[in-house]
Chain A
């Protein structure tokens, strides 16, 4: 499945408290968490997002806590893909487990500007910046991640191992 949406840029080292402040972690509901997506960066940040838009970040996106509420809040805000220079380790695992697609673009992430129209072609690891007529190709996913995605996320993967699906 491919994606198309408008890019919303944020900076380096965006931490999980910026993505969803800890005091709001009193629910597991995606819609409620989504309403506060990135409110630790800027109150009301999420109001600029339309369903299907794409988040573009710098280095070490998602650093800090292990809260799975962070990828859930991004998904709950209607954002299906995050492009970044690099991702923090725990966030990386959590995102795939939750079905949020991550594209690790390295230095090329900087070429994308706020408001650009992006097309994401996961099978090719390709980000097409339609505004700038620019193609960025990301390294292929590790096999373990591909296996989890093929099973529809970690829940499906474990269900299969337990012989419940």
Chain B
């Protein structure tokens, strides 16, 4: 019987025969992840379970990225709990301080997640790893504690939605626009309890960094995972990132049982923006002229990779950020930061009048390093624009690609690069 990509990957990690959607299967885990917000709770549950040791010290990853550099006494104390546990368990992959980056950029970059893996993380954007052909999904801290103790979890096999992109990519259209297009179409619960499987000629040509951007936001449609096939693009990415190049390709079978198909023709489309206060509230950028802004964030697990930094720099080169805007650029890992330095991108950002900051999740979740005051409005390359997400309950967040964010910073209101 033909199988979806979701069914194939789960089957490879389970001893039970995966026969139908909705079935519950016990699965072996390739990797378990937690961060500075979710690990302390996971450790609490791990202790309560009377577990002594993590199942594999190489397969439990802690990344202290959300409030780094520690924003206050309480957040610093949370990191102390994680650091002590990591030492006690002799955890190999513990990231804090200078080696720390935004987890969902960091793990694929370091080759810690790869094709065919089954990963759970105590962070909803764990679904990002679908970009390298892994089945990856977010769970809460106690589920993660169970994974840390047992190396297993239970999964309900989700039904899958096939999403295809065809046509010719316009000059300023990016991966972010492709995923916003989908969320705008199916809504924030359009993929609830389901997996998204992406394909079509536009996706075939899309490098892995763009795929990671798209998979990252599967959860914004309620999805359990967002999956891309393992193909030549994936192999090229693995080769560059210290991951043994897979000797297999992996894709859904011809005639796989999809619940529905959604097809987009991207020809002639203009960049999109998700307006407050839901990621599904999507409009073409040209409809939002005369929307003044006070902040721009370029970074995060959605759009903080080197290709995103290059995109932003190309728009900002030789231009100035509007006087009424603070434009904050946060390359999302130390490797991305160093590459920006080597390529001269940091100089472009500084000459344009940006603030260049550390590798942190900070402002995306209203933590620190770029918080909105009452009535302020931001264009951000992050993934959520819920009310109060970036600060005041009276502030607004508009989600867009790095080219739109950079153009908006220059214009001082929501704008696309074609409007410069």
A residues with CB within 8 A of B: 13, 15, 17-18, 21-23, 25-28, 40-41, 43, 59-60, 63-69, 71, 86, 88-90, 93-94, 97-98, 142-144, 153-155, 157-159, 161-162, 164-165
Contacts and interface: CB of A to CB of B under 8 A. Distances in A.
Contacts of A18: 386-388
Given A67-B37, A158-B49, A158-B51, A89 B192 contact: yes
22 contacts: A15-B386, A22-B365, A28-B41, A40-B388, A60-B192, A65-B138, A66-B121, A66-B122, A66-B124, A66-B139, A67-B37, A68-B122, A88-B192, A90-B138, A93-B139, A93-B143, A97-B140, A98-B140, A142-B24, A144-B154, A154-B143, A162-B149
Contact of A164 (B24, B50, B123, B219): B50
Interface residues of B, number: 52
A64 B127 CA distance: 12
Given A64-B124, A89-B193, A162-B49, A144 B156 contact: yes
Contacts of A63: 188-189, 222
B128 to A, nearest CB: 13
A155 B366 CA distance: 31
A142 B219 CA distance: 22
Complex A-B, nearest 3 residue pairs according to Cβ-Cβ distance, in ascending order: A26-B74, A94-B140, A164-B50
Chain B CB within 10 A, most for which of A13, A25, A89: A89
B367 interface: yes
Interface string B374-404: 0000000000101111000100000000000
A103 to B, nearest CB: 17
Contacts of B269: none
A90 B278 CA distance: 18
A26 B75 contact: yes
Contacts of A157: 146
Given A17-B389, A27-B74, A65-B124, A22 B189 contact: no
A27 B224 CA distance: 27
Contact of B138 (A27, A66, A143): A66
B48 interface: yes
A17 B386 contact: yes
A11 B74 CA distance: 32
A164 B49 contact: yes
Given A64-B386, A66-B121, A86-B192, 17 more contacts: A17-B365, A18-B387, A22-B66, A22-B365, A40-B386, A64-B124, A64-B384, A88-B192, A89-B222, A90-B124, A90-B138, A97-B140, A98-B140, A142-B24, A144-B156, A155-B45, A162-B51
Given A67-B38, A69-B41, A155 B24 contact: no
Contacts of B215: none
